[in-house]
Each structure stands twice: as structure tokens, then as C-alpha cells.
Amino acid sequence: MQSDHQITWIASFPRSGNTWVRALISAYLNQGTIGINEVMQTGDKDPVYYNDIVKAPVNEWTMTDQALLKPAAMARMLEDAGGNVMLKTHDCNVDISGITQIPHALTRGAIYITRDPRDVALSFQNHYATDNIDIAVDKVLDGKGMTRYPNRGLFVLQLSWQLHVSSWLRDLPYPVYALRYEDLLDNPFEIFSEIVRFLKLDYDAELVRKSIDACQFDKLAHQERTEGFRESVGQTFFHKGSAERWKTDLDEKSQERIVNACRKEMKILEYL
């Protein structure tokens, strides 16, 4: 049964530009201005909407428990919002124990952001503050990869980059606007204009320009340095954000590991 109110997902594999896209949308909805801690935070892992569905506390749940209850939690969120919402997710678009983790009946559409997995690995390396690039590459390629939110008990089911991409770019029963992070960097006015239109927001070209200016990477990085950023987990969140850094900063062995594992999806997305 179709819900009266629905979710537009802002979806990506971690470290792929999700926060920047949400910052742009937040700025557009705020007349072209943005404070770093005003970036849209609402996501599918807010424990408020999972609590009390069953008696066991969230931090005692397994991934399967959470998967079975996620549609009910998302329905609660929509009821509380009283209208359509935009939600961040890093979840892979898969079924767990027969339950679709991006519920079709609750979904209006999705914006899906991809980034070259070789640059994602470098971003993971900074995010986890490790000198061992193998650890970062392992996270990109881990077909069973999950993250558990500290102090919340909820799982993020990201799996591997290639599984994540293929799960979101397959045929789905709702519209998906797919963009490459690199294209948003190269042509922000055109790509963000398309995002605004996909979201069915009133289109204003000058407001698009103003929002892009407010969300320049160096401006967000400066705000993080001076004010802190609530999405940071200890390391600098807005680290570099550039494209094709892998060409100079990623060793050949790591490049080969990623390409060998992700070749099909990388070719589809023209990373190869």
C-alpha cells in the first residue's frame, strides 16, 4: 500500500559527497546561506523512531532485528513529520531477511551520489586516521561491511562499494537521480540545478548560484575549523574533497585491488 507521505533518500556509499549535497540543498532551502551545523541531519538511523517497537533496547538488537523493524521505524518518522521528508542514508539498497531496507511504499525517489572508489579509499584513510592504506581499501571492498553507531546501537549496512552502487543503480520502482561527485565538482551549477528540479523545488537560478557559493569546500572547511562539525568523528571531516587524488596519493597495489574488484561498476560510471 502506498503511503500518503513519502521519503526522498539522499543516498551514497560513505565518504562520497553525501554531506556536500545535503549542504547544498539545505542552503537552497535557507535562501542561499548555510551554517555548517545547519546541514540537514535527518537520517534513517535516528533511534527515537526505533525505540519501543519491541521490548529489547536498541543496543541489544542484531542487524536482522533492525532490518525487520526498519520499515515500521520509517513509517513512524513520516507520521511524525506529517509530510514528505528527505533522509540521508548510507545503507545498501538490499533486502535483509526478505525485508526491503529502502521500503518501496514509503519512497518517493532518491538522489544517489557516487565517487571514484580509489578516492573513497583515501578519504577513508583520513576518516579513520590510519597510516595503513590496506585498512581503508578493505573497508571499500568489504562485502559484509557494517558500521554501528556509537551510543546508538543502530547499524549502517554499507557492504562494499561495488555492491552498494549496483544496488542503487538497478531498476527500481521509483525515480533515482544518479550523479557522480566528480561531475558536481566540475559543473556545480548544471548538476545542482538538476537536483533542485528533481526535488520539485521552485527553481531559482540565482539561488542555485548563491547556494553553491555558500557551500564552497574551503568555506565549509573553515567553518569546521572555527566551529566544529557534529558529523565529525574526531578527524577533520572536510579534508580535501578533490577528485582524482588517487593518481598521486594511492599506491599501484591499492589501485589494482580496487579496480579488480570494482571494474564492472567503474566502467559503467566511466571511472575507467
| Strands 107-114 and 176-180, sheet pairing | parallel
pLDDT at 240: 62
pLDDT digits (tens, 9 = 90+) for 159-216: 999 999 999 999 999 999 999 999 999 999 999 999 999 999 999 999 999 999 998 8
pLDDT at 85: 93
Mean pLDDT of 16-24: 93
Indicate whether 199 belongs to any domain: yes
Indicate whether 54 belongs to any domain: yes
What is the Cα–Cα distance from 74 to 226, expressed in whole angstroms?
35
Question: Which CATH number characterizes residue 207's domain?
Answer: 3.40.50.300
Indicate whether 66 belongs to any domain: yes
Indicate whether 252 belongs to any domain: no
Q: Quick check: 230 pLDDT over 60? A: no
Q: Quick check: 1 pLDDT over 50? A: no
- The burial of 227, by beta-carbon neighbours within 10 Å (0-12 exposed, 13-18 middle, 19 or more buried), is given as exposed
pLDDT at 131: 85
Indicate whether 268 belongs to any domain: no
pLDDT band at 223 (very low <50, low <70, confident <90, very high): confident
Indicate whether 165 belongs to any domain: yes
pLDDT digits (tens, 9 = 90+) for 41-53: 778 988 889 988 8
Indicate whether 40 belongs to any domain: yes
What is the Cα–Cα distance from 261 to 6, expressed in whole angstroms?
35
Domain that holds residue 224: 7-117+143-234
Helix (H) or strand (E) holding 240, with range, is none
pLDDT digits (tens, 9 = 90+) for 139-159: 999 999 998 876 667 999 999
The contacts of residue 55 (CB under 8 Å, 6+ apart) are none
Count the domains in the chain: 1
Indicate whether 242 belongs to any domain: no
